[in-house]
Chains A and B, each alone.
Chain A
């Protein structure tokens, strides 16, 4: 049987690895490449790399980190694929087939699309036909407006008319291979996944759903795996603060009897 996956998400903002809170506040965490190597050694199942930069400047601004300065998302993908022997998804600021192709050719395995899918849904179909469904991930950001769940575009700023389960169904029919489902309200809040959101979306579609947003302790991963049909659990902030974080999270899930890969410290 296929394993459930544990996936660190790396948020990149103008060349820095950052943590985010409700898509509004950002704090710098350091060099994106050395972070990936660390996460790879700790037995992540995949990596998701989201570029949430505001402009095209990727200047790392310091050169005392033992790595050369990196100026583009492309150089970063290239570096990352040399140290991370696992599937890598790259998202953020992708609008054309050429932009997808370039990321794949540099070592990404999948791309995550968000705003472009909302503004031009047919692009999902075109991209899936060109590169295969297996490499098209649709990232869906959801916010609660009163008691209604609403899909948001443009980095969480632009409301759409879609309920998350309807939008997920639409992109599934267009050929999406996977859904990355993020709760804006839970982002950086450490109070656990929005389980209602996860259940509504997994109940509507067949393709795998990756849960994201809100993890504050390992038990939150288990909660989603035990109480919903998600295929993978992802998180960003929690993995960056403790030594061997992914390994410890994986061990927690494995010891609890969940269907995850055996936790292993990678030694090359």
Chain B
């Protein structure tokens, strides 16, 4: 089923992501090594924590040229998880304004949760907005596990695959070509998370 490279820039949940992927994929590494990124068929960027800290560590620790070659030129399927999804944006507004990777147009802003407390923590419904192989076989509104306070505001609605409601509706799954991002944690979402990862690994 291909070989997976999970990027590790020092964000906490890499081990849980690895544990889930290893129930499905055979060849799987946690690595930032250019050679591993070149050889991988699928690339995963996990993440917890603040946008600016994540971006700083990504620039410090990941071989950006090799990664951009793999994702933007070779079009390898890429999955960003939680903050790993948020950094795909043009900019993030947590603790000031910071540049993101800019792979999908938009900005990351605080969820307007109204009277609900932030962070948004727990199982919530994800409503699919358009058909996608990533969400195939999950039904119309699968539950996923969320932990976050900020969300991705897209410039182009075409990139929105699913939304979730918490005080307001926010984008919980994004896609532009081979680049996918999920605001929730598939590695904590049991059956639905496993199914989503299986779908991701069958992309080519």
Contact = CB atoms under 8 A, between A and B. Distances in A.
Contacts of A104: 12
A268 B23 contact: yes
A85 B119 contact: no
Contacts, number: 75
B124 A2 contact: yes
Interface in B79-128: 116-117, 119-125
A120 interface: no
Contacts of B19: 81-82, 85, 107
B190 interface: yes
Interface string A257-268: 000011010111
B15 interface: yes
B123 to A, nearest CB: 4
Interface string A14-31: 000000000000000000
Interface size class of B (residues with CB under 8 A): 20 to 34
Contacts of B15: 81, 105-107
A206 B114 CA distance: 13
Contact of A40 (B119, B124, B143, B190): B190
A267 B191 CA distance: 7
Given A82-B19, A85-B19, A107-B16, A134 B119 contact: yes
A249 to B, nearest CB: 16
Interface of A: 1-3, 5, 40, 43, 45, 81-82, 85-87, 104-107, 109, 132-134, 177-178, 206-208, 231, 261-262, 264, 266-268
A211 B143 CA distance: 22
B194 interface: yes
A-B pairs, top 4 by smallest CB distance, nearest first, are A3-B123, A2-B122, A266-B191, A134-B119
What secondary structure prevails in chain B residues at the interface with A?
Answer: mixed
B75 interface: no
A2 B123 contact: yes
Given A105-B12, A107-B19, A261-B143, A85 B188 contact: yes
Given A3-B143, A86-B145, A264 B191 contact: yes
Contacts of A5: 122-123
B28 to A, nearest CB: 14
Contacts of B49: 132
A45 B147 contact: no
Contacts of B123: 2-3, 5, 45, 261
B165 interface: yes
Given A81-B15, A87-B188, A132-B119, 10 more contacts: A3-B125, A5-B122, A85-B19, A86-B145, A107-B15, A107-B19, A109-B16, A208-B122, A261-B123, A268-B23
Contacts of B20: 85
